[in-house]
Amino acid sequence: MLAGHMSSIPQQIGNYRLERKIGRGATSEVWLARHAFLAQRRVAVKILVAHDSETIERFQREAQVASQLRHPNIVQVYDYGIYPTPQGRGQFHYTIFEYINGSSLQHYLERHGKIALPEAVSIFRQIAHALDYAHSHNVIHRDISPGNILLEQAGGRALLTDFGIARDVTNHADKLTVQSTIMGTPGYWSPEHTRSATAVTPLSDIFGLGAVLYVMLVGDLPWEENLTPPYRLPGAPPPLRERGARNIPAEVDRVLATLLAPDPAQRYPQATLAADDLERILHRHRIATCAEQGTGSPTPAAAVPVGLLPDDREPDPVEEALGPRLARALVLKAQERANQMQHPETISRILDQWAQQGFLRRRLLGRLARVHRIQNRNLYFYQLRVLYEQRGPAEQLEEPDYHNRPLPLDTVRDRWQVALDAPTSIVSEDGGLAMLPGSMHVAACEDCNGRGKRICPRCEGKGRIYETREVEVPAELPEPPRSRRRRAVSGNLGNAVSSGTSAVVADPPPIPTTTRTERVLVPCPDCNGHGGIICERCDGVGRLIRQQAFRWQRTAYDFNEQDDLDVINEAWLLQHCTVHQIYQEQATCPADTPNPQMDVWRREWFEIPHVRAMIEQAQQAINDDARVVLCELTIRFMPTTDVVFDLGAVQPNEQDLYRVTIYGFENVLPNDWRLLDWRWVLTLIVMGVLIIIIGILSVYLLIG
């Protein structure tokens, strides 16, 4: 008898008889079923119990996507179909899966709390292989969590299941992935999960797998709060030791920090590369443990990639200081190159290719070369961009108190405690004037003593002034004799009458004038006779609003350093090799920091000698009036390989050894005169000399 939904779910679907329900989800049930004719054939039948169109479409898509994947660590899909209900009132959509006799990782963790490092690494590696396989087939799972990982009881396999919200990136007609929708299991979401379902990439699955590893080792999620909207980028996960994990190498924290990096570009590009790192760490841990306990050597571990530098040298300062923050794809690409360059056959091939590219180069150079030493290293180029902010001394501003407005109550602050708009990029700004909070106050105008007017300095408050003027007055002349004057007039008139013409009387001559200086009392023109003028400082208000302010500006500056290039020409190197950006990060400093010279820089930057030198140089410009408010460190690199070889000397000494450097992922060698075919060089020199001699003799004979 079937329990539960036996009244609605059929007892048999196709050739499979349903035995018992083994799982239940929000929209489906999972039943254990046995083949009707093959008694040992057991399968898991997933039956859809919801019937809305979107759920049905998702159910069909899960079967379609999972059926494309055939991997030992992915639960296989055998069949999919639609079966009518016993009453004929509807249909059942079902998928037949491979049956895994075991439980989910979630149930295991609920019972045991956490998993030992070797078992956790084993589970991690199996799921990592499954993920990389799915990603190579353009399938993104989008819900990596312990509930979707099955642990087989007998075989020890870990399998990835539940592709219900998986996305086939090649299916551009997929309408079920809505841009604003967030899909997956809370707590295992990557930062891009919380932005949009369409923003999820294969690197998001790797983030989820990193969270699963953390939960396996600790028994809980890395962060106390689930990564739910509104989302804030988390920092590095807390060290395992702080969360109670014991007997786990500290290097595992570095792997987790890379897996759980907020920036996808800083994560492992492939999940199996993280598994390789974990196995190398586990192998070293076993060796150290066996040495401490005196139990001999452990079983050999699988081969794993070497680091950026050979095993006989310490990691370079950049990788040691910034390991989890470096662009992981480039780091691993450099590791792969280092592995290849460790083989003398690779060096021989590169030397032969170089020899074939030039006419005078020694032929078969790679076959002749007997390699003595191969040393891989990285050549780094550093740029530190710094944005200085200058704040001048406080100066006092004032204006008339026109509006009698209330003054804000605020604490008096220092100029460096004032928050300006934070810079978003390292670009120079002209700046301006910024007020000091708490410095605003009202004061009586000193010029007018608060009266709004001041005594007119010209009239001294009297309203009038004496003005000196030049006045014209008639001049005093002596009076001429009257008798003579009459006769002269009468004579003129008589002459006019006797001649019969009209007599014209002439105008009297102008009266002469003279000037005289007088002092006249007039209204004062400066105050219009009021005796006082409006105070220019307070504009007649009598009160002043005073406030302190400072002027600020920002100046960008670049500092550049690089590793020693030996004798190679930098222009030639940059022309023939690509320099890749492996790191870029900004750091800011709050204006009120107590230690502006140190707090702006990231502490790990000081571990890199060249960067530390640039920081010390940048700190020289920091003083009471200037601080660094934003800085950005960019590191670019190219891998190089130093090779020491001889060309077949019987007992080579120091003089017989050749040292060359192979640059970049392009494997470029600079021109080296030591590796020329000197037989051809001498032949050409002799031929050139002979041609010159023949030319000279020919000219001499022609002249003679």
Q: Which residues are catalytic?
A: 143
CA distance 61 to 51: 15
Q: Is 455 left (phi over 0), alpha (psi -120 to 50) or beta?
A: beta
* C-alpha 508, offset from chain centre: 104
Peptide bond into 423 cis (omega under 30): no
Q: At which residue do the structure tokens 């008798």 appear? A: 483
Nearest to 665 by CA among 644, 637, 698: 637
213's tokens: 């590893």
139 close to 162: Cβ distance less than 8 angstroms: no
Q: At which residue do the structure tokens 């601080």 appear? A: 627
CA distance 448 to 401: 14
676's tokens: 């020329």
Nearest to 240 by CA among 273, 197, 274, 210: 210
CA distance 633 to 335: 23
Backbone angles phi, psi at 154, to 5 degrees: -85, -50
> Which residues are paired to 79 by β-bridges?
96
The secondary element (H helix, E strand) that includes residue 125 is helix 117-136
**Residue 74: CA atoms inside 13 Å, Cβ hemisphere, count?**
24
Nearest to 158 by CA among 118, 126, 128: 126
**What DSSP character marks residue 379?**
E
Residues 6+ apart with CB under 8 A from 62: 95, 162, 163, 164, 166
147 close to 106: Cβ distance less than 8 angstroms: yes
Nearest to 101 by CA among 147, 43, 48: 43
CA distance 320 to 331: 12
**Where are the alpha helices (H) located in 407-514, listed in sequence order?**
482-499
CA distance 279 to 301: 7
| Strand-strand pairing, 395-400 and 543-562 | antiparallel
> Which residues are paired to 633 by β-bridges?
384, 585
**Angle value at C-alpha 684, between 683 and 685, nearest 5 degrees:** 90
The secondary element (H helix, E strand) that includes residue 247 is none
Overall residue count recorded for the chain in this entry: 704
C-alpha pair distances (Å), 561 with each of 383, 568, 576, 597? 6, 16, 20, 20
C-alpha pair distances (Å), 527 with each of 271, 457, 458, 537, 543? 89, 9, 8, 16, 21
C-alpha pair distances (Å), 358 with each of 355, 365, 576, 686? 6, 12, 16, 20
Nearest to 212 by CA among 164, 145, 127: 145
Nearest to 640 by CA among 583, 581, 573: 573
| Strand-strand pairing, 28-35 and 42-48 | antiparallel
**Residue 87: CA atoms inside 13 Å, Cβ hemisphere, count?**
6
* Buried/exposed 139-169: b ≥16 CB within 10 Å, e otherwise: bbbbbbbbbbbbbeeeeebbbbbbbbbbbbe
